[in-house]
């Protein structure tokens, strides 16, 4: 049996969220209990990326709720609805990232408390892995927001002010010496530069920051959005970087902050949003937000529910939670989920090509556990650039096969990437051999 590992950066195991409300329907003298669900809305009614910022408001957007279908993965749902894997995982603890159950109702975390920062240019909150682009037009303020992937613990994304120094479409990647050395240790010799194309990790668009060596760019690994997976740059889904590139001028200010705990107001309600802090920042950030809340208590002469605040902080689901009604009858509709119909197709979901007798394949391995085999195939399918993989049942075992590939070179390249990226030892299978 060959060795397998799952993606080291996807270490989230989530619990399902099933939202249902029971109401008592009175008929004559008898009471009967019946299940009730809110109506299903077309997905166009759930705003994903661009919002008006109401004067005095700090909260934008609204939660969504979608029922999963067979074959869905959380990375595919996350990309379709413009959220990162970190956000959809935290909002749905206990749900399997790669093999969620059909019929599970998934919360779409599409309301946000704006970062505590000046509302101009681009603001990136590392703790929430979210980018906010502010624009003012005729006195009206709008914000466009996108999930991002950020630097690893070893190569973190730096904080502080910077600016967009220049822009490039179809950029060439000049490989830094430190990254080339890391790959060399794995047996992967990188060229001095990588031209535009599917192998280029910068994707099709890049914003070069005045802080040398750091970029906001696209990616050929969309399943990494919402993860600490880069060498310090901030990466966006390909469809988002294209819009951001077009909407961002050279010299636009960029501020990078780290705010895992956020508080804000909207429509007479005070909200709190909590995320799992990045390394070594939890204590100081918690002290900062507690000081703000205590200051609010003194200024408003209102007593906060600190048990509820501590629960929001501990659960860290990344969703704005109402913690205080600032005026009687304040509207809280925006904090309740909007039930959305399942899309006809999830944007960006990997499609498996048909099997071919005259093609090359990579045998990833055999497993007795069908669930683990399907999970491994799903992870491989979401590599970037794509490596198609499927599970074939044979003699009470489950064989994971990657391919088809048009020639032996492509099959060997795929096997090499599986080893480097996932520590999987694959066997290249020539055309005509049984798989």
H-state helical runs in 232-342? 238-247, 282-300, 306-315
pLDDT value at position 11? 32
pLDDT bracket for residue 332 (50, 70, 90) = low
Q: Tens of pLDDT along 199-252?
A: 999 999 999 999 999 999 999 999 999 999 999 999 999 999 999 999 999 999
Taking CB atoms within 8 Å and a gap of at least 24, the contacts of 385-391 are 385/198, 385/199, 385/220, 386/350, 387/414, 387/417, 387/418, 388/350, 388/352, 388/353, 389/364, 390/352
pLDDT over 80 (residue 2) = no
* Enzyme catalytic residues: 217, 233
pLDDT over 60 (residue 33) = no
Q: Tens of pLDDT along 130-155?
A: 999 999 988 899 999 999 999 999 99
Listed ranges 113-117, 176-180, 300-304; the one with the highest mean pLDDT: 113-117
* Distance between CA atoms of residues 268 and 246, nearest Å: 36
> Could you tell me the domains of the chain?
117-257 (2.40.440.10), 360-429 (3.30.70.1070)
pLDDT value at position 32? 35
- Are the CB atoms for 221 and 421 separated by under 8 Å? no
User: Can you tell me which residue has the tokens 């990254």?
Assistant: 179
pLDDT value at position 5? 38
Element (H, E) at 58: none
* Average pLDDT for the chain: 89
- Are the CB atoms for 15 and 105 separated by under 8 Å? no
Mean pLDDT of 366-394: 94
pLDDT bracket for residue 37 (50, 70, 90) = low
Q: Tens of pLDDT along 3-32?
A: 433 333 333 322 322 223 222 232 333 333
* Distance between CA atoms of residues 201 and 378, nearest Å: 21
């Amino acid at each position: 049996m060959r060795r397998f590992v799952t993606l080291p950066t996807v270490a989230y195991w989530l619990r399902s969220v099933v939202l249902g409300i029971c109401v008592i329907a009175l008929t004559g003298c008898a009471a009967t209990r019946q299940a009730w669900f809110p109506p299903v809305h077309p997905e166009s009614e759930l705003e994903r990326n661009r919002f008006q910022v109401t004067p005095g408001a700090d909260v934008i957007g609204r939660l969504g709720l979608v029922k999963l279908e067979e074959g869905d993965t959380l990375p595919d749902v996350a990309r379709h609805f413009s959220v990162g894997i970190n956000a959809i995982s935290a909002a749905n603890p206990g749900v399997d990232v790669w093999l969620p159950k059909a019929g599970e109702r998934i919360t779409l975390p599409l309301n946000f408390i704006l970062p505590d920062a000046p509302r101009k240019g681009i603001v990136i909150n590392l703790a929430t892995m979210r980018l906010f682009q502010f624009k003012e037009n005729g006195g009206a303020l709008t914000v466009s927001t996108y999930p991002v992937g950020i630097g690893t613990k070893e190569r973190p994304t730096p904080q502080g002010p910077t600016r967009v120094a220049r822009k490039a479409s179809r950029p060439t990647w000049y490989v830094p010496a430190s990254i080339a050395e890391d790959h060399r240790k794995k047996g992967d010799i990188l060229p001095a530069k990588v031209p535009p194309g599917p192998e280029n990790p910068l994707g099709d668009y890049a914003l070069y920051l005045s802080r040398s060596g750091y970029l906001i760019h696209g990616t050929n690994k969309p399943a990494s959005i919402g993860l600490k997976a880069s060498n310090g740059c901030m990466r966006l889904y390909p469809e988002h970087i294209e819009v951001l590139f077009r909407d961002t001028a050279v010299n636009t200010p960029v501020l990078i902050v780290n705010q895992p705990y956020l508080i804000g107001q909207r429509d007479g309600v005070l909200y709190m949003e909590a995320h799992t802090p990045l390394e070594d920042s939890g204590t100081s950030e918690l002290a900062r937000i507690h000081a703000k809340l205590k200051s609010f208590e003194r200024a408003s002469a209102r007593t906060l529910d600190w048990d509820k605040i501590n629960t929001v902080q501990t659960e860290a689901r990344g969703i704005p939670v109402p913690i205080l009604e600032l005026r009687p009858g304040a509207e809280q509709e925006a904090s309740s989920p909007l039930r959305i119909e399942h899309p006809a197709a999830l944007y960006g979901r990997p499609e498996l090509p048909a099997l071919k007798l005259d093609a090359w394949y990579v045998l990833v391995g055999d497993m007795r556990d069908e669930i683990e085999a399907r999970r491994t195939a799903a992870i491989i399918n979401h590599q970037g650039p794509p490596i198609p993989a499927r599970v074939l049942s044979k003699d009470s075992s489950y064989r994971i096969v990657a391919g088809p590939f048009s020639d032996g070179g492509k099959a060997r390249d795929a096997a090499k990437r599986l080893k480097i990226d996932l520590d999987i030892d694959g066997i290249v299978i020539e055309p005509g051999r049984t798989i």
